[in-house]
Every structure is written in C-alpha cells, then in structure tokens.
Amino acid sequence: MYQNVFIIGATGKVGSTLVHQIYEKGDTSRSIHVNPTRIVGLASSSSVAFSKKGIGKKEALKFLKTKNGISYNRLDELIALARTNRDHLVFVDVTALKEPMIEFHKKVISKTPFSIVTANKNPIAYADFNTFTFLTKEPDRYGYRCSVMAGADAVPFLRDLRDVRDKPTLIEGCFSGTLGYITSMLERNKRFSDILDTAWRRGYTEPDPRDDLSGFDVARKLVVLARSAGVPVGLKEVHVQPFIPRSYFKKESVGKFIRSTKGLDHHFAQEIKSAKKNGSVLRYVATMRMKGNTPCLSVRLQKVVTNSQLVALQGTLNKILVVSKIYGKENPYSVQGPGAGLDVTAQNIRRDLLYLLERRVITQ
C-alpha cells in the first residue's frame, strides 16, 4: 500500500525542497518503506499535475521548474481531482493562504476520507476555536507540527498534555528566527538598520520585513500552541507589541521603510546598553500565562534576565518553555530547535506524514 501525497504550494521554497527530499531520501522505495510515499499531485497557485499512478521524479522536477500543468481556478478542483483516485490520499499544505485554505481544510476533513499535513499556520490560527478543534481532533488525519518552530516537537507535546489532562499554566518562548537573529546581532553592537538591511538582502526576513517586525506572525504561533493545549483563545486575545514603533510601518515601499529605520539605531543602542547594565538581554518573547481560569497572552520585546533559559538563544534558534502541574517552574519542559530552514521544515513535514501512515514499520 502506498501513501499517496498531493502537495499544494509545491513550487514554493518549502514545497520544492519537500519534493526533492521525498525522491532523494528513499521515501518512494519499497525496499525502505512498507508504505512508500507516492506523489500523485503537485499544485502551484494556478496549475496542477496529477497522476493516479504517481508522478515520476523527472516529471515532478520539470513541473517545479516550468509550472506547466493543467490550469485551475479554485481549490475545490483539487479535491475533485483527488476523488478520482480511490486510494487514500494526504494533502500537504505548504502555502501561505488564509481564508481559502480554512474552507479547503474544513471541506477535506468533513466531506472526504482524505487527510492533511500543513506547514501553513493560517487555517488553524485565523479560524475560530471550534473550527480548530474540529480540524485537529483526529491526529491520524491532521498533522500540523510544522506550523510552529519549523516542526520541532512543541505542537505534539502540548497536544499530548491536553490528552493526559496536565493543562499548562505557562507557555513562553521565542518563536521568530528573524527577530532572534536581529537581537543576536544587536548584542554584538551592530546598528539596527544595518542588521535589518542585511537580513532582508540575505532572505532571512519575509519579502516585506514589516511582516516579521509587526509581531503578528509570532502571535499566530502562540495561538496555535495555546489551542493545542486546549486553551480556547484567538488572535483578538493576544496583546501584540511590535518590535519597532507602529509609526514606522506607514512607509510606502520596502526600500523606504528600511532606510527609515536608521532613525531607530540610537534607540536600540540605548536599549542594549541598558539591558547589559542590568545583566539582561533583549528577546522578543511570546507568553501565555493562566491567571486562574483566564489566559493572558502577549507578544513583546523584553529585557530577559540572565538566569532565563531564553538568554542562551543565538541566531535563528527558537525555544519554548512549558510549566504545568507536572513540569514545575523550576524544571519546565523545553523544546529548542531551528525556527526556520527549508531542509528542517521539509523533513518535519515528512515526519508528520509518517504519523499518518496506516501501518508504520521501523526498518532495520
């Protein structure tokens, strides 16, 4: 039996890396896997390649380069294509779509026997809590570990805590590789505007770095983590303090915006100086703290004292700390890993696919 996979967003950076890994790491080989992976569908934003018998490596790599396939207009058309294959199938969502993907995920889970693995956090962060619960209630049909921390084990751990009835009283961490890189460079006394310009040119940030600096991407991750632990929250409950003043987001072009951040160089130099004087460091921290039965969520730049486990983070590393009845304040559960990276994310998508296998056998 094959594990049939239909990758949506296949021509993007994560999607194309995933396709290469599936073929190059032996996922398609019966000599390695009892249930080998078979890519039956590849979709870009406007075209799709589909074969019930599987798309060969040569054809798949050609599609990644040319996007030359059958044109389509609506995501529903991909479900219709998948229905022509009588075997079970897993949709892999590596897009960044919001509302269209919420409806797509709902339709796949409610109207078909198919499964989903998603690295796209938007459907489970923007949807209401009831929809989140509906989508994720069957772990063997819906894998979403890669929606946070590039697939490190934060999501599975919090989901397990919910099942064993050990509700977290505190979730805290640094969930932005971009902002982690910036704070690390600030500690080396680099100018903020130069750090941002370098990060943008090297592709460390989103195409528009304001998307990182706004803090809303971190807020979405915090919502996903809190919900995974069974806390019924949404984005409206998160108090978000951007990394920089909101007035800087009004510049028209990315270039003008980055040039304008020279006005923040002195501010951040003083912040670093003040932090060092007090024996602390700057970190962009996401926090969910239970006050009685009320969850309080915030995302903001903080001066973190040197005895915090978040101090040692460097570069794009992410870390989550979880306090519960079993994991006390003195010894919180922690998960650390790269907050980004194409190879890391693609491999962890493949891990999610393993957990959706009907019959998984560990090879010798």
Q: What percent of the chain has pLDDT over 70?
A: 99
User: Could you read off the pLDDT of 247-283 as tens digits, one per residue?
Assistant: 999 877 999 999 999 999 999 999 999 999 999 999 9
Cα separation, 339 vs 150, whole angstroms? 6
**Residue 158 lies inside a defined structural domain of this protein:** no
User: Could you read off the pLDDT of 91-129 as tens digits, one per residue?
Assistant: 999 999 999 999 999 999 999 999 999 999 999 999 999
Q: What is the CA radius of gyration of the chain?
A: 21
Buried b (16+ CB within 10 A) or exposed e, 41-73: bbbbeebbbbeeebbeeeebeebbeebebeebe
* Global pTM value: 0.94
Say yes or no: 27 and 136 in one domain: yes
Residue 362 scores a pLDDT above 70: no
Say yes or no: 178 and 321 in one domain: yes
- Domain range holding 278? 170-338
**Structural domain count of the chain:** 2
**Residue 361 lies inside a defined structural domain of this protein:** no
The answer to whether 354 touches 34, Cβ cutoff 8 Å, is: no
Say yes or no: 48 and 92 in one domain: yes
User: Could you read off the pLDDT of 182-212 as tens digits, one per residue?
Assistant: 999 999 999 999 999 999 988 788 889 999 9
Angle of the 216-228 helix axis to the 154-163 helix axis, nearest 10: 30
Contacts of 237 (CB under 8 A, 6+ apart): 295, 297
Cα separation, 349 vs 46, whole angstroms? 23
**Residue 160 lies inside a defined structural domain of this protein:** no
